Amino acid sequence: MKETWVYSFAEGDGKNKKLLGGKGANLCELTQTGIRVPPGFVITTKACLAFLNNPERKIPQGMMEQVSKHLKKIEGLTNKSFGGEKKPLLLSVRSGSAMSMPGMMDTILNLGLNPDTLKGLIADTGNERFCYDAYRRFIQLFGKVALGIPDELFDEEFEKIKSKAHAHLDVDLSRDDLAEICTVFLQVVERYTGKPFPHDPFEQLEIAIKAVFSSWMGKRAVDYRREFKITSEMANGTAVNIVAMVFGNMSNNSATGVGFTRDPGTGENVIFGEYLVNAQGEDVVAGIRTPKPLAAMADEMPGLFKELMELRNNLESHFKEVQDFEFTIEEGILYCLQTRNGKMNATAMVRTSVEMKKEGLIDTKQALLRIKPEMLEQLLFPRLDPDADATPVAKGLPASPGGASGIAVFDADRAEKLGHEGVKVILVREETKPEDIHGFFAAQGILTSRGGKTSHAAVVARGMGKPCVAGAEGITVDVRLRQAVIGDTLISEGDTITIDGSTGGVYLGELPLIEAEFTPELEKLLSWADEKARLKVMANADTPGDAKRALKFGAMGIGLCRTERMFNEPSRLPIVIEMIIADTKEDRQKALDKLLPIQREDFKNIFIEMAPRPVTIRLLDPPIHEFLPQEQQLIEELELLRNLRKNLRGMRKLSEAVTFMYQNEPEKPIVQLSADPELLDAVILKKDMILSKVRSLHEINPMLGHRGVRLGLTFPEIYAMQIRAILEAAAECKKSGVTVHPEIMIPQVCTAQELKRVKEWVIQIHAEVEDRFGLSIQCAFGSMLEVVRACMRAENLAEEAEFFSFGTNDLTQATFSFSREDAENKFLPMYNMSHILQDNPFEVLDVKGVGKLMELAVRWGRQTRPDIKVGICGEHGGHPASIEFCHKIGLTYVSCSGPRVPIARLAAAHAAINQP
Amino acid sequence: MKETWVYSFAEGDGKNKKLLGGKGANLCELTQTGIRVPPGFVITTKACLAFLNNPERKIPQGMMEQVSKHLKKIEGLTNKSFGGEKKPLLLSVRSGSAMSMPGMMDTILNLGLNPDTLKGLIADTGNERFCYDAYRRFIQLFGKVALGIPDELFDEEFEKIKSKAHAHLDVDLSRDDLAEICTVFLQVVERYTGKPFPHDPFEQLEIAIKAVFSSWMGKRAVDYRREFKITSEMANGTAVNIVAMVFGNMSNNSATGVGFTRDPGTGENVIFGEYLVNAQGEDVVAGIRTPKPLAAMADEMPGLFKELMELRNNLESHFKEVQDFEFTIEEGILYCLQTRNGKMNATAMVRTSVEMKKEGLIDTKQALLRIKPEMLEQLLFPRLDPDADATPVAKGLPASPGGASGIAVFDADRAEKLGHEGVKVILVREETKPEDIHGFFAAQGILTSRGGKTSHAAVVARGMGKPCVAGAEGITVDVRLRQAVIGDTLISEGDTITIDGSTGGVYLGELPLIEAEFTPELEKLLSWADEKARLKVMANADTPGDAKRALKFGAMGIGLCRTERMFNEPSRLPIVIEMIIADTKEDRQKALDKLLPIQREDFKNIFIEMAPRPVTIRLLDPPIHEFLPQEQQLIEELELLRNLRKNLRGMRKLSEAVTFMYQNEPEKPIVQLSADPELLDAVILKKDMILSKVRSLHEINPMLGHRGVRLGLTFPEIYAMQIRAILEAAAECKKSGVTVHPEIMIPQVCTAQELKRVKEWVIQIHAEVEDRFGLSIQCAFGSMLEVVRACMRAENLAEEAEFFSFGTNDLTQATFSFSREDAENKFLPMYNMSHILQDNPFEVLDVKGVGKLMELAVRWGRQTRPDIKVGICGEHGGHPASIEFCHKIGLTYVSCSGPRVPIARLAAAHAAINQP
């Protein structure tokens, strides 16, 4: 059977994006839907792969014949002739792969022009200036894309003639200027390639197709695929779309524009976009001329605007998704050149989801699935505090919402370098091009002095959810000097600036940012998510304030309440230190007796805040030396105090001592102590005790040290105090009518015996508290699974534990034998960069290793206790891919930081919809 | 059905030790074999449990009736009557559980005596002195064991009368003295208990049985079972053996003794033991009188000696095991009182195994199985260097071989305390008693001033394989003053002494110890083991010297050659430091170029030593900061050097500088440097560089840090150098005709990608070296499994690795999240003590957690590569129970330290025999 390499838009399968690419499939679909598209055809991605896999990079057998056949059809439809001296057919040649990769692939316009067809075009259009303009554009684009000639060579010549002609804008150039440019450009090509420019349109076409094919393996495309993790499963090779040219720059009754069917910044259901009269599409996208908003068309071209609105409605009803489309008006006829799903920020995605569902365009599942959970992160991103009352030094277009501060950096390479070093940068450019993409990844935000809301910078920044101010024309960017000038103000590389992508403001220095509020649409969307999800979403929260915030984010309870943060509060730390340095059980008990009412109050307030949702409290986990000062600090303090004491000897009067101190330590006065040698002695004694405790508690590997339940079993009175505080708090709540569901969770467990011991204490204190308060308290008892052995012994642990919670931070460290702090500083970046590990396992759950262990632990645990509640409370609990995995292995809940709760809720819904 | 609680020796099942206890079953077996045993019966362990489980501790229904019935039978057999005024029958009542627990349980002799039966006994024997002696022994034993009266109360009275009678030894006491003692003893009992001594023999019997039953739950018994890990599966409850008394102290034609059928110290096939004429058994065991060797009996009682030799032969042919038996001669008639398998030291076990096999008594499997592999440790224990030429300050009996040094400690509690603190102690006692057992566990060796080779101290020490010198009569021990006096020499607590359990020598101070040599018997035994074993036994060896020693121990190759020890040698360390502080790849390469020939030479010498056995070399593992000095040390050195430099300024002459130095730092002269300020500056500069490197390399958790393959991938040139050194060494060996099998092993692997990268280097360097030398080299490539994730991903790792080696030290740390150094100092002893963990998982492989992970890894790895070689090279590789587990999960080899190789070989044979 003969392979079909080419499909016309009228016959191609609009669903087969893998074969035809997104753009090609869309054009087929559009054509077949009855939307006016210039006639054309698409060469398949299979042809591209056949070409790339051919060692000599030859076009596959028979393909060019099929191309010729389809060209004939276009000639028929347009009544034009390819290479004809009369009514010449011109073509656009565009790439298009299965995944949208904006600006990544190369495009050639006006293909088919040569001195002969130029004459035909002049004859045909009667517009010589337009024709030479089209020709010079073609020569440059073809030269650059297909022949690899640097743009600068053309630009230099262009600028020379422009300045000779005293032209300020391109449109100021005359027919003769443009004709001269064509001549010079043809010379540039011949000089660079050593061969004359190919005039044969068929030769041009073949060269162009090969260039598009090859661009699939170009550096930019490969980088983009790697960065966005686009596998060959998702997209393999690019199709080539060959379309009859239509011209938006043929006259003032011609125009070109790009549009979104809804506002991609806010999601509002109004058409959004820009157009330029008498211009070609690239003029809009490249931001060289500043275009008008589409709304202006209603006045300027009212009939065509009506047609445009019809197009918009047709597109949405057909694709059931916000569309990002291009159109051209050639002499009053509106063509849709391409369409694709619109890239929007999270606000817009959420709003359009909710509204399109309400309009009946999509159903709940679709409304949920079209939003990537990670996207919601944007909504939880900070924005500029409106009360900051700062005056912008410049204003641009609000191209991608949100606020960002960072140092100004003027090229993408430096932005990337500094960004990787952890420096916050704002990428400042005159305009951006696809080759700047790596700078976007590293920047906090983007600022350009040219281009509109659909310029490259704006589109890419919105896609990434990064703030962008575009077209801030008051700014003059000088890349060479690494500076930007705004009136009298000079911004040099390294100066901190702030941009507000929601208003277009540019500010000097760093401005305060505030958190975003939940929109009603987001609330609605997440309520749908909760209906679909099977996983519950809990929050990690350590204080009543955390709990309150978590509730606002929709947490269904607290999955992890760390008690150590309570210990660390400045007012309590001295008591904790007292407890630690105690030499006897009695002294330790004294300190614990002081801590008990404090902890009880903490728990009570959290319980009240969360009532009646469950609150899982983890007993003390970190090694106790973490509560003590650093050894070096103590040594220095002691030296200072001892010197002071030495000099104090003999001094009698307060004033004398204080004077001495200020003389000797002007910056570190220890006023109270100085007056009283006895008090000073006592302080020295105490600090000495703390120092020797710090030394005796020193551990070689604190991550694997004396912590968690090991500590709890060594000093039973600490855990006993915490258990008592929890149960008494619960009892007091219950007494005052508040329903509470406390859960006690034991950290660092490695054997069921540990649980058994602590459980005995819980049972005993539980009975005692119930007895004293004369009421019954529900309190679950469970175990962290953060030690590998705990996972291996899950079936035994489940005999004691009523619930499990995977602590995937520690579990990942133990499974990899990576100390997180050391790894991320030392070798992990290299591991990721060289693809030894695809991800940072502390950010993305390592499904193959840690996940496999978790899956086994769940299975083993449920062998003993089939209904055991199992959750996760590591950072991974808020990571969508990890949540999907948690759903898959049958966890009951995930717990994550408050601001990630919405992301987790949506991810949980996705997981449930995708794996019912 | 009526429960049978009691069996006569003629009817009990000699194989059913669980029901009848070891002693009881033996007595049944002896009786039924035709060996002359005093008539008696045994009360079952079931009766004991029924008694203990009864809340009121009542003797089970019907048991005493059965006892009476059996008593009647004994009366018939002995023609004596229990409680009779004529020919009274006296009984011994002894405990005996399924497991031998020497001295742990209580025994009562001469039961049945009272004023009436005493008269009958006198009439019967005509020996009043003997009868009163028997009576006073009975009262004391019964008082102590059955009524709980402290021995001291009796001893005080005894000593009073003894001194009043001017008696030096017990035998110096007259009939009247003994009669007086009886009267006083009866008063002691009445005073202590508030009741008269029970005179009714049946009441005596019932009380005695209850006391034996209860002793099963006594502290000593419970401690012993815990220490030796005797579970209720192995022994549950004690039986009670009730036997007609025979008297070795009835006359000078009576005697009592204990014997081993072979010498338990050397294994030599000669009878071994001691006897006392006119004495009761306890006199021999307690070491109160120093007995004569059995050989002396040939002269003293030639007829009976012949009978004894017959008994010995009968015992061995019946039990097919060396027997430890007790006998009594009553008026010329030889009775065997009990027998059990003899506890012997390793030398004796090995020799008897080999000889009994040769004699045809046992087969090879039996010869192997009767020796616990751990036991061989004794043979690998150090002994005193015979060339040390030290003069003993005292001489005792060589009671348990081997040499030991430590500080003298005079009671078991202090020995235990100090031992647990890591202090080496020698327990010095007049004589030891069962209640001293905890001191034995903690001591390096035991020294007593009284008792023979079968005294408590000797028996227990031999069982534990600890050196013991017994009955060193020249020493006067004073527990109260915590000192011992030997002539003019005073040994106070804390003084270091050395004992030689092979010669009986006692020395002041610490003497040099040397390793034991392999005996031909051990060689033979291990050759049998190798035939039976399936697991290969490799050694961990880092140097040619190690390799030589490992070969001597029978290693079949090197399973782990750690390259870091080579790095650490003083002559090389400066080059290693140079490599570490290098800032550029080039500087690092320069240092590596110096290391290459050194490493190559190391490997070559190891290969030659081990040829043609395989040598597995692990590439560099530890974090590189381990090769640098400590931060604090550097700071101090720098301060010193800087001070020196400051003071040197202005000095011109060498003499001046040196003088200054000696004045200021008399103890730390830095002679070479002092003369040359420039050199001094250079040294300061270098040390500063090292210091800043030390700081930049600091890690929070070095165990989980930048080490192993992570380091190798960060600095590829280090691994490349090592790989080159290995392959060039192999090539040079091959060139000179030596067959070598190098294997390259990668540490700390967590993903197959890591292996893949290093493997590429190996392949490249391999090809290059083969090419240069013009020959082919075999070299296997494998991975450590010491990271949990490596185990989880074993099926992927097996795609790259030709062999795996479990690093169970690190794997245990990661699985438990225990840092070994921290855990063993901080909480692990508490975990073991309170049975949260049964064992220290760094000593005994944690089968349930780490082992489960290993088992899964082996299974997964073999899914990819069914024939993959899998070994273990952690410390567990030399631990018998762990080796058994390794056999069970199908490992190919174990690798352990050289001296543990013989243990591993025997353990591997055991595993193969037990799990064919």
Q: Which domains are assigned to chain B?
A: 6-244 (3.30.1490.20), 255-338 (3.30.470.20), 393-510 (3.50.30.10), 533-623+704-914 (3.20.20.60), 626-698 (no CATH)
Residue B605 exposed, middle or buried by CB count within 10 Å (0-12, 13-18, 19+): middle
Residue A810 annotated as part of some ligand binding site: yes
Q: What is the DSSP letter of B196?
A: P
Of all residues in chain A, the one with the smallest CA distance to B812 is A789
pLDDT at A386 over 50: yes
* B832 and chain A in contact, CB less than 8 A: no
> How many whole angstroms separate alpha carbon A119 and alpha carbon A113?
9
Q: Which token pair is A435? A: 């080759």
Task: Name the pLDDT band for A463 (thresholds 50, 70, 90).
Answer: low
Which of A811-825, B431-445, B449-463, B850-864 comes out lowest in average pLDDT? Answer: B449-463
Taking only the tens place, the pLDDT of each residue in A281-329 is: 767 665 567 789 999 999 999 999 999 999 999 999 999 999 999 999 9
Is-contact A626 A567, C-beta < 8 A? no
Q: Quick one: how many helices (H) and strands (E) in chain A?
A: 37, 33
Q: Is the peptide bond before B614 cis (omega within 30 degrees of 0)?
A: no
Q: Which of residues 725-784 of B touch A (CB under 8 A)?
A: 748, 750-751, 753-754, 757
Are B816 and A787 inside 8 Å of each other by CB?
yes
Which of A293-307, A669-683, B220-234, B655-669 comes out lowest in average pLDDT? Answer: B655-669
Of all residues in chain B, the one with the smallest CA distance to A792 is B849
Find where tokens 């809940």 sit.
A893
Find where tokens 């224990």 sit.
B381
Taking only the tens place, the pLDDT of each residue in A350-366 is: 999 999 999 999 999 99
Are B754 and A836 inside 8 Å of each other by CB?
yes
Residue B786 annotated as part of some ligand binding site: yes
pLDDT at B540 over 70: yes
> How many whole angstroms separate alpha carbon B781 and alpha carbon B742?
9
pLDDT top residue among A275 and B346: A275
Which of A772-781, A808-817, B225-234 comes out lowest in average pLDDT? Answer: B225-234
pLDDT value at residue A202: 95
> Nearest to residue B163, comparing CAs of B181, B149, B137?
B181
Q: Which of A443-447, B664-668, B793-797 has the highest mean pLDDT?
A: B793-797
pLDDT at B634 over 90: no
Contact partners, residue A531, CB within 8 Å, separation at least 6: A364, A909
* A705 and chain B in contact, CB less than 8 A: yes
pLDDT value at residue A102: 61
pLDDT at B665 over 70: no
Chain B: closest CA distance from residue A714 (Å): 7
Chain A: closest CA distance from residue B437 (Å): 28
* B835 and chain A in contact, CB less than 8 A: yes
Q: In the predicted model, what is the mean pLDDT of residues B545-569?
A: 89
Element (H, E) at B8: strand B6-8
Chain B: closest CA distance from residue A622 (Å): 13
Are B751 and A837 inside 8 Å of each other by CB?
yes
Instruction: Supply the DSSP string of A417-455, one letter for each residue.
Output: HHHHTT--EEEEESS--GGGHHHHHH-SEEEESS--TTS
What does the H/E/C string look like for B823-870? HHHHCHHHHHHCCCCCCCCCCCCCHHHHHHHHHHHHHHHHHHCCCCEE
pLDDT value at residue A438: 79
Euclidean distance between the first and the last CA atom of chain B, given in angstroms as a whole number: 42
Are A818 and B788 inside 8 Å of each other by CB?
no
Chain A: closest CA distance from residue B834 (Å): 10
Q: What is the ipTM of this complex?
A: 0.74
Are A822 and B751 inside 8 Å of each other by CB?
no
pLDDT value at residue A50: 94
pLDDT at B661 over 80: no
Find where tokens 């430099």 sit.
B645
> Nearest to residue B608, comparing CAs of B542, B544, B545, B561?
B544
Contact partners, residue B896, CB within 8 Å, separation at least 6: B537, B538, B539, B540, B559, B873, B875, B877, B878, B879, B903, B904
| Ramachandran assignment for B290, one of left (phi > 0), alpha (psi -120 to 50 degrees), beta (any other) | beta
Are A817 and B810 inside 8 Å of each other by CB?
yes
Q: In the predicted model, what is the mean pLDDT of residues B296-312?
A: 94
Taking only the tens place, the pLDDT of each residue in A508-553 is: 999 988 777 678 999 999 999 999 999 999 999 988 988 998 998 9
> How many whole angstroms separate alpha carbon A255 and alpha carbon B649?
84
- Spell out a b/e string for A738-771, using b for 16 or more CB atoms within 10 Å of the CB, else e: bebbbbbbbbbbbbbbbbebbbebbeebbeebbe
Element (H, E) at B91: strand B91-97
Are A853 and B787 inside 8 Å of each other by CB?
no
> How many whole angstroms separate alpha carbon B418 and alpha carbon B890?
42
Task: Name the pLDDT band for B464 (thresholds 50, 70, 90).
Answer: low
Is-contact A836 B710, C-beta < 8 A? no
Are B789 and A850 inside 8 Å of each other by CB?
yes
Instruction: Supply the DSSP string of A263-329, one letter for each residue.
Output: -TTT--SS-EEEEEET--HHHHHHTSS--EEGGGHHHHSHHHHHHHHHHHHHHHHHHSS-EEEEEEE
* B632 and chain A in contact, CB less than 8 A: no
> How many whole angstroms separate alpha carbon B357 and alpha carbon B524?
11
Find where tokens 């497991």 sit.
B99
Q: What is the mean pLDDT of chain A?
A: 89
pLDDT value at residue B49: 93
Instruction: Supply the DSSP string of B229-246, one letter for each residue.
Output: T--TTT--SEEEEEEE--
Chain B: closest CA distance from residue A580 (Å): 15
* A824 and chain B in contact, CB less than 8 A: no
Task: Name the pLDDT band for B220 (thresholds 50, 70, 90).
Answer: confident
Taking only the tens place, the pLDDT of each residue in B583-617 is: 888 899 999 999 999 999 999 999 999 999 999 99
* B813 and chain A in contact, CB less than 8 A: yes
Q: Which residue among B703, B706, B788 sits closest to A704, beta carbon to beta carbon?
A: B703
Please list every residue in chain A whose beta carbon sits closer than 8 Å to the beta carbon of residue B757: 834, 836
Cβ atoms < 10 Å from Cβ of A703: 22
Are A754 and B836 inside 8 Å of each other by CB?
yes
pLDDT at A657 over 70: no
pLDDT top residue among B517 and B323: B323
Of all residues in chain A, the one with the smallest CA distance to B811 is A817
pLDDT at B658 over 60: no
* A800 and chain B in contact, CB less than 8 A: no
* A646 and chain B in contact, CB less than 8 A: no
Q: Which residues of A are catalytic?
A: 456, 873
Q: Which of residues 612-631 of B touch A (CB under 8 A)?
A: none
Strand pairing of A323-330 and A333-341? antiparallel
Is-contact B871 B783, C-beta < 8 A? no
pLDDT at A39 over 60: yes
> How many whole angstroms separate alpha carbon A486 and alpha carbon B814?
58
Contact partners, residue A774, CB within 8 Å, separation at least 6: none
Please list every residue in chain A whose beta carbon sits closer than 8 Å to the beta carbon of residue B810: 817
Q: In the predicted model, what is the mean pLDDT of residues A555-563?
A: 95
Q: Which residues of B are catalytic?
A: 456, 873
Q: Which token pair is A221? A: 């495309």
Are A817 and B793 inside 8 Å of each other by CB?
no
H-type alpha helices, B194-319: 201-215, 219-227, 281-286, 297-300, 302-319
* B793 and chain A in contact, CB less than 8 A: yes
Chain B: closest CA distance from residue A852 (Å): 7
pLDDT value at residue A1: 57
Residue A260 exposed, middle or buried by CB count within 10 Å (0-12, 13-18, 19+): buried
Is-contact B248 B276, C-beta < 8 A? yes
Please list every residue in chain B whose beta carbon sits closer than 8 Å to the beta carbon of residue A789: 815-817, 846, 849-850
Are A789 and B753 inside 8 Å of each other by CB?
no
Task: Name the pLDDT band for A666 (thresholds 50, 70, 90).
Answer: very low
Contact partners, residue B182, CB within 8 Å, separation at least 6: B132, B135, B136, B139
Q: Which of residues 847-876 of A touch B (CB under 8 A)?
A: 848-850, 852-853
A:B CB pairs within 8 Å: 176
Find where tokens 């700047």 sit.
A436
Q: What is the mean pLDDT of chain B?
A: 89
pLDDT value at residue A439: 87
